[in-house]
Amino acid sequence: MPTPTPLMGLVTGFWSFKTFAAAVELELFTKLAGGRTITVAAAEHELGLPDRPADLLLTACASLGLLERHGDGYRNTDLAEEFLVKGKPYYFGGQVTYCDQRTYLPWHRVGEALRSDRPLTWDPATQESMFDTADPQMLESFWGAMYSTSIFTAKSLAEHVDLGGSKRMLDVGGGSGAYAIELCRARPGFQATVFDLPHVCEIAAGNVAEAGLSDRITTTAGDFLTGDSLPGGYDVVLFSMILHDWDQPTNQKLLNQAYEALLPGGRVVISELLLDADRTGPAPAALMGMNMLIETEGGRNYSDAEYTAWLAAAGFTGIHTVRFDAPGANGAVIGVKKAA
C-alpha cells in the first residue's frame, strides 16, 4: 500500500533549497575550504549566529550531504569542496544565489503564470526579453549563475561529443563563454567565437581573458533573435542551453540559419536538458520547462525527437543524440550539413 511519504518530500523540498542557499550566502563552505573543520561554537563566532541556529544549520547541511562529521565538528564533503568553495574552477554558488534572489519568490506565484502564460521575473510590456536589461546587479547575478551551470556542463559535453576534425566553432548565445572555454581547453588548436549581445560579449571576453584563451576565443556582438543570418565560415555551430528559451518557430528559424552558416560537412550541436519522447520526464528537464514558464514568454524544454525533426527540416543529416550527465544538460543532439 502506498504511503504519503514521497508527497511529504515534495512538500518540504523548499526547506532543503533555502537551507542550502543560506549556507552559500554565509559562505560556510568557502570558510571550510581545504579540509578545515568547524564546531558549533566556532560557527557561532565566524558566521555570526546564536548557538541554536548554528547547530541547526550545520546539522541540516550534513543531512543534505554538504558537510560531514569529523571529530567534534563538521567539514566539507567532497561535493561541497569541489563546487561550493569560491575561487574553485567549477564553483556552483552563482546558480544557488541567482535562484534564491531572482526566481524563488516569483515561483511562489506559479499558479498565476500557469493561468496567464506570462513570465513573472520580468515585464514583456517594457522589455523585449529577460536578457534585455541594463540592470548591472541582474546582469552580474544572471551571468554568474549561467557560468556556474555552464562551465561543468561544457566540460561534460567536451568529454562526450566527438567533433572530429572541426577547427572553428560559433557559440550562438554563448553568454559567459563557458562552453567556448571548456571546448578550447579540451581541443588544442580549436578556435571559437561567442556570438551574443554587446554587454554579454564584454562579460564573455573577461572570462576568456581570465582563462588565458584570448588568442583562440573571440566575441562578435549581435542579436540572433532579430538578425536574418548567423556569422558564417564555421564547421561547428553550438546552441548551448539556448533553445529552451524560445518557441518552436524561433528555434526552427535559428536551425535554418545555422545550416546556412555552416561549412559543408559542418555540425550543429544542441546541448540541453532533453525531455523523453513520451513527455513523462526526466524531472530536471520537465521542471526546467516549468521554470521557462516563470522566466520566458515562449520557452519550454523539448525532446530529442523534436530537435531531430527540426534539424531534418533544416536539411541536416546524420542526426543523433549523445547522452551525458551534467547540471545544465543531459545530452546533445547533433546534425551534419551535407558535404559539397
Tens-digit pLDDT profile for residues 74-88: 999 999 999 999 999
How large is the average pLDDT for residues 215-236?
96
pLDDT tens column, 196-211 = 999 899 999 999 999 9
Q: Are 301 and 274 in contact (CB under 8 A)?
A: yes
How large is the average pLDDT for residues 286-306?
97
Is pLDDT above 90 for 148?
Answer: no
pLDDT tens column, 160-183 = 999 989 999 999 999 999 999 999
Is pLDDT above 80 for 144?
Answer: no
Q: What is the dihedral of CA 157, 92, 84, 64, to 10 degrees?
A: -90
pLDDT confidence bin for 136, thresholds 50/70/90: low
* Residue 209: per-residue pLDDT: 97
Q: Are 275 and 289 in contact (CB under 8 A)?
A: yes
pLDDT tens column, 93-111 = 999 999 999 999 999 999 9
* Residue 132: per-residue pLDDT: 63
Is pLDDT above 90 for 67?
Answer: yes
Is pLDDT above 60 for 134?
Answer: no
* Residue 138: per-residue pLDDT: 66
Is pLDDT above 90 for 113?
Answer: yes
Angle at 40 between CA 99 and CA 36, to 5 degrees: 75
As a whole number, the mean pLDDT across the chain is 94
Give the torsion sign (CA, 111, 112, 116, 120).
negative
Is pLDDT above 70 for 5?
Answer: yes
Closest CA to 262 of 239, 240, 230: 230
Q: pTM of the predicted model, to two decimals?
A: 0.92
How large is the average pLDDT for residues 147-171?
92
Instruction: Report, as residue numbers or ranges, the catalytic residues.
Output: 244
Closest CA to 170 of 119, 237, 105, 229: 237
* Residue 139: per-residue pLDDT: 66
Percent of all residues in the chain with a pLDDT value above 70, rounded to a whole number: 96
